[in-house]
Structure 1
């Protein structure tokens, strides 16, 4: 057939959904004709492109939850076309003579104005908050949320949770090392250690927790669709361990009927340190036509060390190696039903710790022992999803095994070397099943149930002069059963009221490890099985004052169950803690699109029976309820399109906290909640420019200021930290399928002192945890 003849692309399905119904659209990057056929098939519509040149144009991937109309308009904008209605469920796409995106290339030298213009915000698809568990549109959502696109997280090579903290001002982290940190959101923090307390931030892969009371596994954020950060508490929908909020990872789903692969290679050099390297690959493989598809992701990274140990005569001791992979298989059962199987594994080997002496030569440590760590993480889940008409169903079941071994220098002054070894091993089985109906017109709801079985074993020992001596440890167990529900009702156009509640019953048990049997018998009441039942209500009202401006007020609660902590030669109980937060906020515009966007909130939190770690009289970390407290938080973020190719963004988080009613004399001078700076601020830019007929320059940069805070609880942990500026810049030149990247982090080579502690033992020296020195990376990425 001659190229001048019309090309007709028509795809119909037997069951045609209503035009207003939202469906999941997953279309890979490719030619416009192929994308039109895929969208038509997935939405049950007819799409015709009669212009062969238009059908041959390439479009980026189109993924998300849209109505058929929204998906067609999104494709039309990517093509530079105009959609023309052809019946109730049909469209023709014709060339839009006024569109700038696909003007014929001229032979003149390209200028700044050659950069593609951003799509008009008025016809953009709605932003859907999938972490709401009922697909709420952003305009109706009450709360602060940041959605980070996966391409932004992977830009410039592999990365983990630190990429999230660099893009969201309200997210902070400790810096003990990859795989053993804690994440904090909105001024809700407890300590620097990874003890028996549950995290204040819930981390999820899809609908299932990454862990229960273990540190952040720091998964590589490769091949992600997006990451959603919801400020908390999020007790109604996510239950225990979401006092500060939740971070939800959404991996890219397999693409049916598509064979594709991509890979990246990179090498890095750290100032004052060693070389590093990284590699990653993604493959999408059909297993049975479009009925079953497998997507594979592998990553490997070696981060060069930069800390010297003078007494051992070793340089750059803290090299860290990270290996990981993920497999995602999807079977399409038809009729809107799918089954997903997801498995991932990651191993982190840290040759030594990354802290330094405060008053010694820069980036050096006077320890005489090796203080390495190992973190292993395994995760598997099966997800069944489907529809009963307008009602949607999802059941997720998963298992997690997480093991962490840490080594600390416990050498006393003028004594033989001694190493403290701590093992934190956790196993979890969890299920969540829910039904929901998105709010199309006036009413939307979700009801669900979940069950979590978690067991954690914390053991300790001292290794001195080739003699291993066990120290008291602890074992904690929890069985948590939950029922929850939430509903929204549109009172009138632009006004939505939402209310919900969660009932959780926790069965708690545990015991001491490596303890004297007589002590265990005499104090058996401490470890006796116990239970607690908690109700967590929530309520909010959202008012859309203008088409792109919303105001909301929200009340929500959160909690963490109690447990057992080490107490000298035995264990003690610590009680559950609970937060109640009242928040008021506003939003304008569409984040990442349109002329500008702005959002802000002010919240007040009452925190009862705060769980926190501190140093006991034996010099070991332990846990207790330190008292009640309150936290004021204000957060702001926004962006502005300066030119069609340049967008600026900024964010600010301000915290003010106070500990009240301390539980004993050790906590009388605490003052503020530890590990949270009074001010965190971030600024960044995103720049795109065509530099030839086939090449595009993309650049992203950021700077982040972290204010001063206190290390932890008690006089031993009263040292100040923070008050530093971090920064980074990444640029890519290339085509869609191949490019070269160059990046630099810590541009100003700031030493700083991040939120961490090298060793809890008094060994006669002050410590800091410096930033990784200025690091350069050169990388290559390609796809086929």
Structure 2
């Protein structure tokens, strides 16, 4: 079980300056990227020569970011991609690890199922600002109790992956709402009808001063009808090692847990032109929260008095049809996503200091007079019970999406993609205040006598869209692209309060419902010029948006209930180069103008903790991204990336209906100015059948703040950190197996990615961080 959370201003580790210099040097020498390219006619020989110099075949990864096959170096957008073999060798098991592979990508990690994905500093409460896709299927967070679906991105395990793509900058025309900052795509390996193959992987690890963890992954690919039908099944089990201790109950490693799941993929190819894919994905997570409390004065220690955790089941069912008509390809995708989740958050500290006569006067009688002895006794009885309590919030998401598109397939100058899209998302959240046993912190049975607050919210989003993107290449050098998307959505929110709570200024309220509708267009314009096959420059103006909606706070005045969509324009210029064999260098500069921001606020009233969203203010984000990958020697590869992001409000967050805390010049929350990462990998032959391999990954993340305003009493600084992982091992020369010894967080840094505070924590500081130094061994065996 997990208790409390906290943020601590972690001590400066000895040698930090030296490590920072080392990381900065790595960023300058090896800024990273993934090279993806579909090889056009006549270029095979050069591509093969390049491929011989690239350790992980990154020079030949094919990306589908434009919803048609293109080479990364020929794709005139800011995109990073990395192949599945490279992900496996680097120990990547979650999309959160992709921050090592793409500049300007940040994940505010609150543990499995509680992750906020940020690209280019575009982050705010409300709908997601980054789209996350597994194959063709988008996944969605739950709107929770604060309409903030962005903060709970679901996570499927990364094993048997073909590649990962990170599209930086708004992708509104092709990927629609929720891709304001960009899109993250995980593309899994597909069934192969011409071979029987399998793979197994396992790991065992131990956290310093913590517990033991481990994982098992397995895959089998079975041809059912040779060259026509194949089935690929993947399974996984993961045991999380605990490392957070609870000082109130004197318990250690309370944030343990596990996950398990897998996927089944069926591919049918009755003809060379037709491919039909059916897929089912499943992932279940049960884990106690890894948050700790700064005010304890110790790393990884909480003094929480009640349970905290995430219990999450995610399912995806999809069907995809691809038909090649020759010059035109048809793609039809239908996806049903189901998420059942229970979020448990210790809120005991909310009620600290309220168990007295002054508290009775303030919260029970709204300062009208002093409480009588009888009133005081009743008040104290209730308040003393919720001094040990958690928000217990069962919720579900059901999201059905459909897309039908046509794309050109030829090598001619004119290329295009057109399509239609629909979404029907239903969410229900029940939020209760459930008491815990004061002797253990364990939640008491979920029955009426232990529930001291009960609210239910229903949220229904319906969306339809049509999109088109057209490009034409002039003189074999200049390509002009234009895209547009029309969207139309309506959102209906209803709810009721079955049991009020005086500390929340909430009363029993019958079911109420409100609706919000909106439509509009977003656009994209791009011009790229191919100086020669190794150098390309492009400029782009692209737009992104998120749906608005209706706040869940029951009884909220009409002026505050609805909020509109917010949108932004991104202007960028980029250079993609291949100056030497085995060397790739890309550079991008951008500016984002973000208007009508969706702002997170609170309802008024003594002790109120209900979050709402409104529109106020604007932001400007300016940044630079650099990526470099090089293979200076056979078997020796270097890669890294560097990002600079200056994200600030350009207007005060003041509107006709809300005055929020942010003022012009304030930095956006959880957006560091600098981030850099690098990796070095060396493989050498030990014998004809055996290779040795050594690898190091390093990352630097600059400091940021948890809220906008410098005057906000809940504002907390998130300190900069450096994180270094190292691996050494053996592998078969034919890649049939490998074995690694690894150390993650080599220097045992308190790598804090989130520090925050609120009225729900009683002003205490909660912290989420990477685990302490972790030792382990991993094994992989392929059967072909």
- Is TM > 0.5 for Structure 1 vs Structure 2? yes
Determine if the alignment matches structure 1 residue 393 to structure 2 residue 330.
Answer: yes
Determine if the alignment matches structure 1 residue 190 to structure 2 residue 177.
Answer: no
SS in 2 for 1:566: coil
**In the superposition, relative to structure 1, how do residues 567 and 437 fare at CA in structure 2: closer, same or farther (>3 Å)?**
same
Measured after TM superposition, the shift of residue 620 of structure 1 is 4.2
**In the superposition, relative to structure 1, how do residues 342 and 506 fare at CA in structure 2: closer, same or farther (>3 Å)?**
same
Measured after TM superposition, the shift of residue 716 of structure 1 is 4.6
Q: Which residue pairs with 1:734 in the alignment? A: 731
Determine if the alignment matches structure 1 residue 691 to structure 2 residue 680.
Answer: no
Q: Which residue pairs with 1:18 in the alignment? A: none
Query: Could you give the per-residue CA deviations for residues 417-454 of structure 1, whole angstroms, max 9, x where no partner exists?
Result: 12112334211011111111135131111111111111
1-structure distance, mates of 2:555, 2:747: 48
1:44-59 to 2 correspondences below 5 Å:
none
2-structure distance, mates of 1:131, 1:489: 18
1-structure distance, mates of 2:509, 2:554: 16
**In the superposition, relative to structure 1, how do residues 251 and 562 fare at CA in structure 2: closer, same or farther (>3 Å)?**
same
Query: Could you give the per-residue CA deviations for residues 67-111 of structure 1, whole angstroms, max 9, x where no partner exists?
Result: 687679978999xxxxxxxxxxxxxxxxxxxxxxxxxxxxxxxxx
Q: Which residue pairs with 1:275 in the alignment? A: 212
Higher relative contact order (CA 8 A, sep 6+): 2
1:482-561 to 2 correspondences below 5 Å:
482-514=465-497, 527-561=513-547
Q: Which residue pairs with 2:669 in the alignment? A: 674
Measured after TM superposition, the shift of residue 759 of structure 1 is 7.1
Provide structure 2 residue ranges, at least 5 long, that are not aligned to the other structure.
1-35, 143-148, 354-383, 437-443, 445-449, 501-505
1-structure distance, mates of 2:93, 2:578: 29
Q: Which residue pairs with 2:203 in the alignment? A: 266
Q: Which residue pairs with 2:425 in the alignment? A: 454
Given candidates 289, 294, 302, the residue that maps to 1:352 is: 289
Q: Which residue pairs with 1:40 in the alignment? A: none
Given candidates 222, 227, 246, the residue that maps to 1:285 is: 222
Q: Which residue pairs with 1:141 in the alignment? A: 75
Measured after TM superposition, the shift of residue 345 of structure 1 is 0.3
1:572-583 to 2 correspondences below 5 Å:
572-583=561-572
TM-score between the two structures when normalised by the length of structure 1: 0.81
**Range 132-141 or range 645-654, more displaced:** 132-141
**In the superposition, relative to structure 1, how do residues 349 and 503 fare at CA in structure 2: closer, same or farther (>3 Å)?**
same
Q: Which residue pairs with 1:93 in the alignment? A: none
Determine if the alignment matches structure 1 residue 597 to structure 2 residue 591.
Answer: no
1-structure distance, mates of 2:476, 2:39: 21
1:78-227 to 2 correspondences below 5 Å:
118=54, 128-155=62-89, 159-191=93-125, 197-211=126-140, 214=149, 215-227=152-164
SS in 1 for 2:417: strand
1-structure distance, mates of 2:543, 2:255: 41
CA contact (8 A) 1:620 1:761 kept: no
CA contact (8 A) 1:179 1:218 kept: yes
1-structure distance, mates of 2:53, 2:263: 36
1:323-362 to 2 correspondences below 5 Å:
323-362=260-299
Q: Which residue pairs with 1:404 in the alignment? A: 341
Determine if the alignment matches structure 1 residue 413 to structure 2 residue 402.
Answer: no
CA contact (8 A) 2:296 2:302 kept: no
Determine if the alignment matches structure 1 residue 636 to structure 2 residue 591.
Answer: no
Query: Could you give the per-residue CA deviations for residues 264-288 of structure 1, whole angstroms, max 9, x where no partner exists?
Result: 1211010121011111101000111
**In the superposition, relative to structure 1, how do residues 626 and 747 fare at CA in structure 2: closer, same or farther (>3 Å)?**
farther
**In the superposition, relative to structure 1, how do residues 533 and 539 fare at CA in structure 2: closer, same or farther (>3 Å)?**
same
1-structure distance, mates of 2:636, 2:479: 35
1:215-254 to 2 correspondences below 5 Å:
215-254=152-191
CA contact (8 A) 2:464 2:489 kept: yes
1:698-737 to 2 correspondences below 5 Å:
698-713=693-708, 715-735=712-732, 736-737=735-736
CA contact (8 A) 1:600 1:634 kept: yes
Measured after TM superposition, the shift of residue 129 of structure 1 is 3.1
1-structure distance, mates of 2:485, 2:763: 49
2-structure distance, mates of 1:77, 1:291: 33
Measured after TM superposition, the shift of residue 473 of structure 1 is 4.4
CA contact (8 A) 2:222 2:232 kept: yes
2-structure distance, mates of 1:170, 1:70: 32
Q: Which residue pairs with 1:13 in the alignment? A: none
2-structure distance, mates of 1:276, 1:198: 34
CA contact (8 A) 1:474 1:564 kept: no
Determine if the alignment matches structure 1 residue 374 to structure 2 residue 311.
Answer: yes
**Range 639-648 or range 238-247, more displaced:** 639-648
**Range 157-166 or range 385-394, more displaced:** 157-166
**In the superposition, relative to structure 1, how do residues 173 and 419 fare at CA in structure 2: closer, same or farther (>3 Å)?**
same
Measured after TM superposition, the shift of residue 333 of structure 1 is 1.4
1-structure distance, mates of 2:397, 2:567: 23
2-structure distance, mates of 1:662, 1:612: 8
1-structure distance, mates of 2:156, 2:687: 37
TM-score between the two structures when normalised by the length of structure 2: 0.81
Q: Which residue pairs with 1:469 in the alignment? A: 452
Query: Could you give the per-residue CA deviations for residues 174-216 of structure 1, whole angstroms, max 9, x where no partner exists?
Result: 121111211111111115xxxxx21100011222312266422
SS in 1 for 2:100: helix
Aligned length: 674
**In the superposition, relative to structure 1, how do residues 511 and 439 fare at CA in structure 2: closer, same or farther (>3 Å)?**
same
**In the superposition, relative to structure 1, how do residues 561 and 601 fare at CA in structure 2: closer, same or farther (>3 Å)?**
same
Measured after TM superposition, the shift of residue 351 of structure 1 is 2.5
Q: Which residue pairs with 1:37 in the alignment? A: none
**In the superposition, relative to structure 1, how do residues 583 and 66 fare at CA in structure 2: closer, same or farther (>3 Å)?**
closer
1-structure distance, mates of 2:337, 2:198: 28
Query: Could you give the per-residue CA deviations for residues 709-764 of structure 1, whole angstroms, max 9, x where no partner exists?
Result: 11135625411114111121223302122221111111110013212548761335
2-structure distance, mates of 1:376, 1:637: 36
2-structure distance, mates of 1:575, 1:442: 40
RMSD over aligned Cα atoms: 2.8
Measured after TM superposition, the shift of residue 544 of structure 1 is 1.1
1-structure distance, mates of 2:67, 2:240: 37
1-structure distance, mates of 2:84, 2:597: 35
**In the superposition, relative to structure 1, how do residues 71 and 376 fare at CA in structure 2: closer, same or farther (>3 Å)?**
farther
CA contact (8 A) 1:582 1:605 kept: yes
CA contact (8 A) 1:652 1:682 kept: yes
SS in 1 for 2:277: strand
SS in 1 for 2:307: coil
2-structure distance, mates of 1:200, 1:626: 17
